[in-house]
């Protein structure tokens, strides 16, 4: 994501509005570079995963999104 004040809050608000629980969040920043946000979320299934990823991907400050693991 583009590193700016409030970007994590905006993503978490979008997840909360969809009633998705976040069980872990980690943010890494480096001056002058995009930030990396890793989230562990609890989803109902693959359909909800796809919809959620599309919603986050459509946010202006999100540069990329990927599923990195299960469990």
Phi, psi torsion values for 40, nearest 5 degrees = -105, 120
pLDDT for the residue 69: 79
Domain positions in the chain are 7-57
pLDDT digits (tens, 9 = 90+) for 14-56: 999 999 999 999 999 999 999 999 999 999 988 999 999 999 9
Which long-range contacts (C-beta less than 8 Å, at least 24 apart) are formed by 31-35?
A: 33/3, 34/1, 34/2, 34/3, 34/63, 35/1, 35/2, 35/3, 35/7
Range 3-18 average pLDDT? 96
């Amino acid at each position: 994501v583009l590193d700016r004040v409030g970007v994590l809050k905006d993503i978490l608000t979008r997840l909360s509005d969809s009633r998705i629980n976040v069980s872990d969040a980690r943010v890494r920043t480096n001056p002058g570079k995009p930030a990396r946000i890793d989230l562990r979320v609890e989803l109902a299934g693959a359909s909800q995963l796809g919809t959620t990823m599309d919603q986050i991907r459509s946010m202006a400050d999100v540069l990329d999104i990927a599923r990195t693991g299960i469990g």
